[in-house]
A and B are shown apart, each in its own frame.
Chain A
Amino acid sequence: MRWRKLGQIFDPTEHALPNGCAEFAQSPQALVFDDFVRIYFSTRARDAGGKYLSHVAFVDMKKNLRDVLRVSEKAVIPLGDLGCFDEHGIFPMNVLRHRGAVYGYTSGWSRRVSVSVETAIGLAVSRDGGITFERLGSGPIVAASLQEPYLVGDAFVKVVGEQFHMWYIFGTGWKRFSDGAPPDRTYKIGHASSRDGVSWQKEEAQQIIPDRLGPDESQALPTVIEIDQRLHMFFCYRQSFDFRKNRDRGYRIGHACSDDRVSWTRDDARPALDGTSGAWDSDMQCYPHVFECDGQVHLLYNGNEFGRRGFGLAVLDR
């Protein structure tokens, strides 16, 4: 697969975003309309204590994916109430159309004491074309379970026939990798299925993408697309510690493919997408999202610093 990179297409610092968010446009996720593309992303404000809160916003772009039409004027979905799973952030939100509505699968963040955070997957539905979303309830639809004790998140949902499929991540452990360091987490990609998109059966701790960096590899944000009768998954992966500033250990885009939706062959020994030296994605490539628009396959992704300065685009050359 050859990707033609078109560079950075959205910088959040050039726009006035709701909730006082100033930086970060992470995990772009596309919803294609007749004459424009709405791209949801998570951006950040700081709370009274100086800690980050992630909020969902969107930008509408012309189908050339170059010209910005507008950014969301109000909150797309409020954060969760006190003590709820999504009280301290929603990042990311995966969107799809279903039966006249837009479903938003959220990853909610809530802060912990002994470790930094717990996450779970929620569902919110939009009946105004994706401008605002309303939760099903104040709790999650997919959360920690017997063999997946924590950090369930990063849902990507696809409806095939009558079946909903979800690719998501589950945590496998918190670990202090050096004395005095805060605990770091490791997570892997799994799969769940559903008849209605609400009630899900997880495969329970079945890692579907083999590790390339060993057991301390963290895999995140799966996105799946069918191209020429074959399923392709893009995701990002990194070492589980010293990954924030050390470019050799940070996020890269991974790739795997499958003919039966069950077994996946990983083939990213040569990177699916390279960073460009000196550019916005020179040190890191992460949070991929693949979608089709007007017969072309597009890859949205974040670059350096986990998307502090926005996201960019690549197009599949076929």
Chain B
Amino acid sequence: MFRWKKLGLLFGPRQVTDRPWLKEFAQAPAVLLFDDFVRVYFSCRPPPDANGQYVSRSAFVDLNRANLFEVRGISERPILPLGGLGEFDEFGTYPVSVIRHGNEVRAYYAGWTRCESVPFNVAIGLAISTDGGETFAKAGRGPVISYSPDEPFVMSGPKIRRFGDGWYRWYIAGRKWKVVGGRPEPVYKIRLATSADGWRWTKVNRDLIVSRLEADEAQASPDVFEAGGRYHMFFCYRFSDDYRGKARGYRIGYAWSTNLLDWTRDDAQGGIDVSEAGWDSEMVSYPHVFTLDGKTYLAYLGNQVGRHGFGLAVRE
């Protein structure tokens, strides 16, 4: 059983006033450790356009390693340009997952495009930094992993990890678009692809986490780490409809595995839920676990999936 002590909201868009592209939201935190600071990548949004539609950008905030609540700097500009006309990431780059590889930092990110019959589609791209994660160049103009018969759309939320010699990328893949009150809502499940080099990927091609709420439960943010001789996954899940409020909105789930492929879901072991009041009183989502100087932390989103930013908890 994990036990977490909540430390409160760590970073939010209200702390920033001079970057118009970082006006709302700070979503999907992902950490890269440096000697004396912690870089947290996240996704944010400029104000919506005249039609009320958003684009998502991605950026980072550097936190003092000795005191994570002290901001040392914020990226001057988004780390990735939006894609060109007709490209998969023309209308958003969100979320981002980073990993060091030699002198590179590789970022796997989800790119958003807009569709006619459904609001969007999402695919996973790759960008590479050679300056320690300050700036990234896209590896190509298309996605690094394609849709396939059983993963037909909405491939999103990549989480890149290395265990042993292997590259592992957890992500989500859309199962269906469910029309709720005339509005298409995506149902997605947690999936895995493996690779020897981070470029050519083989899909495991099955759902890793059983659904608990309902068959159409949506699952996201599969965040995996190793501790105590086991692999642990924190993720989030919600109902397929009417999920924008407290009752049916995102919660954080938990599963464990000994081989990275077969997972036992046991949400009660995760040990984190909504608060009585405050910024995370209605939902908790997009968990990211990292270890720093002997402590294990959980970064996560609260109400309205990160509109107010992300918070932090420490393992007791």
Contacts and interface: CB of A to CB of B under 8 A. Distances in A.
A83 B179 CA distance: 11
A139 B174 CA distance: 10
A146 interface: yes
B115 interface: yes
Given A83-B115, A83-B121, A87-B117, A183 B142 contact: no
Contact of B150 (A81, A139, A149): A139
A83 B149 contact: no
Interface string A136-172: 1111111111111111000000000000000000010
B146 A143 contact: yes
A112 B184 contact: no
A144 B142 contact: yes
Given A83-B117, A87-B117, A115 B85 contact: yes
Contacts of A142: 146
Interface string A182-225: 01010000000000000000000000000000000000000000
Contact of A112 (B116, B147, B150, B152): B116
Nearest to A138: B152
A82 B150 contact: no
Interface string A212-252: 00000000000000000000000000000000000000000
A139 B153 contact: yes
Contact of B151 (A112, A118, A139): A139
Contact of A140 (B114, B149, B154): B149
Contact of B149 (A88, A139, A145): A139
Given A81-B176, A141-B148, A144-B142, A111 B116 contact: yes
A144 B91 CA distance: 17
B142 A145 contact: yes
A171 B87 CA distance: 11
Contact of A144 (B115, B146, B151): B146
B148 A149 contact: no
A262 interface: no
Contact of A115 (B86, B118, B152): B86
Nearest to A172: B141
A114 B121 contact: no
A269 interface: no
A113 interface: yes
Contacts of A111: 115-117
Interface in A94-150: 110-115, 118, 120, 122-123, 135-150
Interface in B50-87: 83-87
Contact of B142 (A82, A83, A123, A146): A146
Nearest to B115: A112
B114 A84 contact: no
A264 interface: no
A5 interface: no
Contacts of A122: 149
Residue of B114, B116, B126, B143 ringed by the most chain A CB atoms within 10 A: B116
A151 B116 CA distance: 16
A85 interface: yes
A82 B146 contact: no
Central interface residue in B88, B123, B147, by most chain A CB within 10 Å = B147
B261 interface: no
Contact of A146 (B139, B151, B154): B139
Nearest to B113: A112
Residue among B85, B151, B176 facing the most chain A CB atoms (10 A cut-off): B85
A206 to B, nearest CB: 14
A150 B152 contact: no
Most B CB within 10 A of own CB, among A83, A122, A138, A142: A83
A88 B117 CA distance: 9
A150 B153 contact: no
B267 interface: no
A139 B152 contact: yes
Contacts of A149: 83, 86-88, 140-143
B137 to A, nearest CB: 13
B134 interface: no
B177 interface: yes
A85 B153 contact: yes
B144 interface: yes
B86 A114 contact: yes
- B90, B152, B184 pick with most chain A CB within 10 angstroms: B152
Contacts of A141: 148-149
B80 to A, nearest CB: 15
A137 B174 CA distance: 13
Given A82-B177, A83-B184, A112-B114, A183 B153 contact: no
Nearest to B173: A139
Nearest to A146: B140
Contacts of B113: 112-114, 118
Given A112-B86, A115-B85, A185-B86, A146 B118 contact: no
Contacts of A291: none
Q: A-B pairs with the 4 shortest C-beta distances?
A: A137-B149, A139-B152, A146-B140, A149-B142
12 contacts: A82-B176, A83-B153, A111-B115, A112-B113, A112-B116, A113-B113, A120-B147, A137-B152, A140-B147, A146-B140, A149-B140, A176-B85
Given A82-B117, A122-B149, 18 more contacts: A82-B179, A82-B184, A83-B115, A83-B153, A84-B153, A85-B152, A88-B116, A111-B116, A114-B91, A138-B150, A140-B152, A143-B146, A144-B123, A146-B140, A150-B87, A150-B142, A174-B85, A183-B86
